[in-house]
A = this chain, B = another copy of it.
């Protein structure tokens, strides 16, 4: 794929390209960070807002778009002795973005943070460290439910 060959145009028309569709839905700084929050389990409007320091109106719009596109869903819930609140959770389609978010994290930790990764993803059963990578189709993936987060130091 890495290419000394210079092309004038894409082998795939832009509108048919998955990168284009995906970038249109989640290719935006705040949206990517909101997805990060969702993977961490930070799923209430105000918790996300405070944790990311994102303007309310921007958060509202991003969540609306994510819900409208079946990447997240809004669910009422209540803790004991507390009023009803809403959770913004990942749908299966949203959860499938995990490789994107983890690949970004891996790249950011390695190249920008110079290898000082603040957390490591581990395989729950074996404790082995995990990564996102380009692999053969038949390689065994680790499912999201089998991942545990380890905070370094």
Contact = CB atoms under 8 A, between A and B. Distances in A.
Interface in A75-126: 87, 90, 93, 95-113, 117-119, 121, 123, 126
A96 B131 CA distance: 13
A135 B141 contact: yes
Max chain B C-beta neighbours (<10 A), residue from A40, A98, A151: A40
Contacts of A112: 18, 21-22, 25
Copies of this chain: 2
Chain A interface size, under 10 / 10 to 19 / 20 to 34 / 35 or more: 35 or more
Contacts of A121: 1, 134
B142 A134 contact: yes
Given A113-B18, A132-B103, A39 B3 contact: yes
A107 B18 contact: yes
Given A99-B99, A134-B142, A145-B2, A21 B108 contact: yes
B118 A17 contact: yes
A11 interface: yes
Contacts of A8: 42, 44, 47, 50-51
Interface of A: 1-14, 16-29, 32-33, 36-37, 39-44, 47, 50-53, 87, 90, 93, 95-113, 117-119, 121, 123, 126, 128-142, 144-145, 147-149, 151
